[in-house]
Chains A and B, each alone.
Chain A
Amino acid sequence: MSHDGKPARRRRRDQTPDAHRFPTRPYDLVKEFVIAVAVVGVLVAVLAAVFSSPDRKAITLENWANADPNDVVATAAGELAGTTTSAGYGAPYNRASDGQKLGPLPLQRWGSVRIPIDSANDLVIEPLSTVTGDPALTLALRTWHSASPDQQTKWAGNYSDALTATPDGNPSQVKPGDYGPVPVLAARFLTLARTGGLEGLLTSRHTFYATDQTKPLLLLADGAYLEDQARADHLGGDQWGMMNETGNYPGQPWMWLYTFWYQIKPFSTSGNADALVWALMAVLTLGLILLPFIPGLRSLPRHLGVHRLIWRNQTPAQRP
Chain B
Amino acid sequence: MSTAVAVSLINAVPSAHGLLSRRAYFLHWGVVQISLANFIIIVLMVVLFVLALILPFPGGKAVKSEEKRDEQ
- A/B touching: CB–CB < 8 A: yes
Binding site for B on A (CB under 8 A): 20-27, 50-56, 229, 232-234, 239-240, 243-251, 253, 263-264, 306, 309-310, 313, 315
Residues of chain B within 8 A of A243, CB atoms compared: 34-35, 38
Chain B contacts to A: CB under 8 angstroms = 10, 12-26, 31-38, 40-42, 53-54, 56, 59-68
CB neighbours (8 Å) of B61 from chain A are 25
Q: Contacts of B13 on A, CB cut-off 8 Å?
A: 56, 229, 232-233, 246
Q: Which of B20, B25, B41, B60 contacts A54 (CB 8 A)?
A: B20
| A–B Cβ pairs within 8 angstroms, 28 of them | A21-B67, A23-B65, A23-B66, A24-B63, A24-B64, A25-B61, A25-B62, A52-B19, A54-B16, A55-B16, A233-B12, A234-B24, A234-B33, A240-B34, A244-B35, A245-B37, A246-B13, A247-B18, A247-B22, A248-B20, A248-B21, A248-B23, A248-B24, A250-B35, A251-B35, A253-B42, A313-B56, A315-B63
* Given A247-B12, A247-B24: A23 and B35 interface contact (C-beta under 8 Å): no
Q: Give the top 7 A-B pairs by smallest Cβ distance, nearest first.
A: A52-B18, A56-B15, A250-B37, A55-B16, A248-B20, A309-B53, A247-B21
With A25-B63, A240-B32 given, name 12 new contacts (CB 8 A).
A51-B18, A53-B18, A234-B33, A239-B33, A240-B33, A246-B12, A247-B24, A248-B35, A249-B37, A250-B38, A251-B38, A253-B41
For the complex, give the distance between the alpha carbons of A234 and B36 in Å: 12
CB distance from B49 to the nearest CB of A (A): 10
With a cutoff of 8 Å between Cβ atoms, the chain B residues found around residue A246 in the complex are 12-13, 15, 24
A25 to B64: give the CA distance in the assembly, Å: 6
Q: How far is the CB of B25 from chain A (nearest CB, A)?
A: 7
B65: chain A residues within 8 A (beta carbon): 23
Shortest beta-carbon distance from A272 to chain B in Å: 20
Residues of A within 8 A of B53 (CB): 306, 309-310
- Once A22-B67, A309-B53 are accepted as A-B contacts, the answer to whether A52 and B59 lie under 8 Å apart by CB is no
- In the complex where A20-B67, A25-B59, A233-B13 touch, is A54 in contact with B38 (Cβ < 8 A)? no
Candidates A25, A50, A234, A306; contact of B60 at CB < 8 Å:
A25
| A55 to B14 CA separation, bound complex (whole angstroms) | 10
Chain B residue with the shortest CB-CB distance to A250: B37
Residues of B within 8 A of A248 (CB): 12, 19-25, 35-37
A53 to B24, CA, bound (A): 14
* B61 vs chain A, min Cβ distance (A): 8
Which chain A positions have C-beta within 8 A of B17?
52
Which chain A positions have C-beta within 8 A of B41? 250, 253
| Chain A residue at minimal CB-CB distance from B18 | A52
Q: A22 CA to B64 CA in the complex, in Å?
A: 9
Query: By the criterion CB–CB under 8 Å, are B34 and A249 in contact?
Result: no
Q: Which residues of B contact A249 (CB under 8 A)?
A: 20-21, 37
Q: What is the CA–CA distance of A244 and B17 in the complex, to the nearest angstrom?
A: 18
B18 & A54 in contact (Cβ 8 Å cutoff): yes
Which of the listed residues B15, B24, B33, B36 has the most CB atoms from chain A within 10 Å of its own CB? B15
Using A233-B12, A247-B14 as known contacts, say yes or no to A26 and B62 having CB atoms under 8 A apart: yes
Q: Which of B20, B31, B62, B68 sits near A247, CB closer than 8 Å? A: B20
Contacts of A23 in B (CB 8 A): 63-66
Residue from the set B12, B14, B40 with the largest chain A CB neighbour count within 10 Å: B12
Closest to A248 in B: B20
Contacts of A247 in B (CB 8 A): 12, 14-16, 18, 20-22, 24
Most buried by A among B16, B35, B61: B35
